[in-house]
Each structure stands twice: as structure tokens, then as C-alpha cells.
Amino acid sequence: MAKFIKNYKVFILVVIALSLAISLLIWLLMVWAEKGAAEGKIALIRIEGFITASQPIFGVTASSEEITKFLKKAKENEEIKAIVIRINSPGGSPAAAEEIYREIIELKKSKPVVVSMADNAASAAYYLATSASKIIALPSSEVGSIGAIAIFPQFGGLLKKLGVDVAVLKTGDFKDLSFPFRAKTDEEKKLVQTMLDDILEQFIERVAEGRNVDKEKVRELADGRLWTGRQAKELGLIDEFGGLNEALDQAAKLAGIEKYEVIEMKEQRDLLQELFFGLPTELGSDFVKAVLSEYLSLRVY
């Protein structure tokens, strides 16, 4: 009886082992078949949050350094046939938007680039989106906000109440223009407005080029307002309605493939950075400078 039980246990273990081996083999065959069926890969790149030219901060900003790096990798990878850029951003730095715009224009020469707009693709986010081969948004997406703005928080009144005075020594009249502890003079305001007007002109030129429309038509729309996706389509600011899946299908169609594999491109971070949503590990003066420059006195679209 004991021998029978022992043999029975061995038999059960063999059956379990064979079952696991067969299951693993079937899974491997399915994966192989799926990959074999794909005619190419589509790279998915996400732009989420405030767009900056510096490293991501707290996981709520999108870095043009990272985005352009992903675009270059997608261009160099022969297996990648098309690129979809998923945007959910209220805007950001003009320089960062221009950097990404240029990289997309270069990439588009060899591979189609489709933009998929989620909740929001405004200001700098819309600026860079116009460089794509096609823009797809949802009818309720927030699109546009063609314009420029400069924000200068003033803390002089607060310091005065605290009995704190700040002395400034400078080599030029405008060297402390972004200084947050005093009001701006009329001459300084005029200077900033001139800069904003030039940034707006660059914005208008990029939209006109990317959307292949007359500059004067874009200028009429450049009052800073947002449109719904449905309104934007009527104005020619986007091409079609759809979500991410439709954008992937459109990218595949432009690339001339039917079956594809999606490869999401993202930065690999260590555990500490992931826990703190991409918080930089160096918590010194560079980090403080990044926060101040990005949020206190930056010209933004």
C-alpha cells in the first residue's frame, strides 16, 4: 500500500510538471505567433504635464530632453515604422516646445508621426503637435490657446509686512527684470510685451507651417482661447476625432502596415525616483533653481 501511494505521488508530480511545461510551451508559441504576425512596431511616446527644457520635476512635467531622445531612438530603430505621441498637457516653455517641434519635423521625413490628444493639448503642447503628420483628438478635448504669457509673482508686499528689505546691485537697467520683490516699471512691461509679441509671431508661423494654412487665418485665432475638439476640427486645427487606439491605427495606415506591436518609450528610473514620482535625487541648489526658473518668472505659451 505504501509503495502504491509513493508511486501515485510521483505520478501526480509528473502530471503537474508536464502540464506546466505544456502551458509554458503554448504561451511561448502564442507570443511567437503574435510577434511573427506583426508587420512592424509603433512607438508610443507620452507628453504629460507642464513641458520644460529641464529634467522632469515631481513627475508632473514633461522634459524636452527626454522626449527628443525618445524621438531619435524611434527614428534610428528600423523595426519602428511609425510614432504616436500621446499629449495631455496645458503647455509650457516655448524653447522646449520648439525643440520637440524640430525633432518631429526631422523624424517625419522618414516615418509618420501621429498626435493623439487626451484631455488637454494647449499652448506649447498644441505648438509642438502641429508638426505631426496627423492630429487626432476627442470632441471634448481642450485644444489651442495660441498665445503667450509672462507671469511675475510679486512678494514685495509680504516682505514689507515681515520687515524684510532686499537690496539689489546690478550692471544694467533690466538685469533684475524677473526679480519677484518689486513691481515692474512701465518700461520693463513694454520690454516683456515686445518679447511676448515675438514669441506669439513664432507660434503663429509654426501653426501655419504645420497645419498648412495661411498665417493671417492663424493670427485671427491667436487670442489665447481654448476650443473643444469639435470646434478645433471645424477650424482646421485638428484632422480627425478619435482616441489613442484610433491614433495607433492611423499611424499604422500611414506606415503601410496592418498588424503592429506597440512599444511604449519611457525613461527607466530607480525605485527611489519612482516612489517620489520622478523627483530628482539631487535635492540641492540645481533642483531649487529648476523650480524657480520654471514657475516664477518664465515666459510660457
Kindly report the average pLDDT of the chain as a whole number: 82
Whether the per-residue pLDDT at 215 is higher than 60: the answer is yes
Residue tagged active-site, from 9, 73, 170, 175: 175
In a domain, 114, yes or no: yes
| pLDDT tens string 157-176 | 777 788 787 777 788 887 77
Residue tagged active-site, from 89, 93, 123, 133: 123
Residue 170 falls in the annotated catalytic set? no
Whether the per-residue pLDDT at 272 is higher than 60: the answer is no
Question: CA Rg, the chain, in Å?
Answer: 26
CATH of the domain at 202: 3.90.226.10
In a domain, 10, yes or no: no
In a domain, 33, yes or no: no
Residue 235: C-alpha distances to residues 91, 112, 175 (Å): 20, 23, 42
Mean pLDDT of 242-260: 93
Q: Which band of pLDDT confidence, cut at 50, 70 and 90, is reported for residue 188?
A: confident
Q: Which band of pLDDT confidence, cut at 50, 70 and 90, is reported for residue 297?
A: very low
| pLDDT value, residue 266 | 82
Whether the per-residue pLDDT at 214 is higher than 60: the answer is yes
Residue 123 falls in the annotated catalytic set? yes
| pLDDT tens string 21-45 | 787 777 766 666 555 566 789 999 9
More confident residue, 282 or 176: 176
In a domain, 226, yes or no: yes
Q: How many folded domains does the chain comprise?
A: 1
User: In which domain, by residue range, is 249 found?
Assistant: 39-300
The residue assigned the cell 520648439 is 98
Whether the per-residue pLDDT at 281 is higher than 90: the answer is no
| pLDDT value, residue 231 | 96
In which element (H, E) is residue 291 found? helix 285-295
The residue among 217, 202, 225, 238 whose CA lies nearest residue 93 is 202
Instruction: Please tell me which of 10-14, 228-232, 297-301 the model is most confident about, judged by mean pLDDT.
Output: 228-232
Q: Which band of pLDDT confidence, cut at 50, 70 and 90, is reported for residue 282?
A: very low
Query: How far apart, in whole angstroms, are the C-alpha atoms of residue 203 and residue 224?
Result: 11
In a domain, 108, yes or no: yes
| pLDDT tens string 122-152 | 999 999 999 999 999 999 999 999 998 888 8
Burial class (CB in 10 A: 0-12, 13-18, 19+), 298: buried
Lowest-confidence range among 183-187, 199-203, 217-221?
Answer: 183-187
In a domain, 274, yes or no: yes
Mean pLDDT of 48-66: 80
In a domain, 81, yes or no: yes
Q: Tell whether pTM > 0.85.
A: no
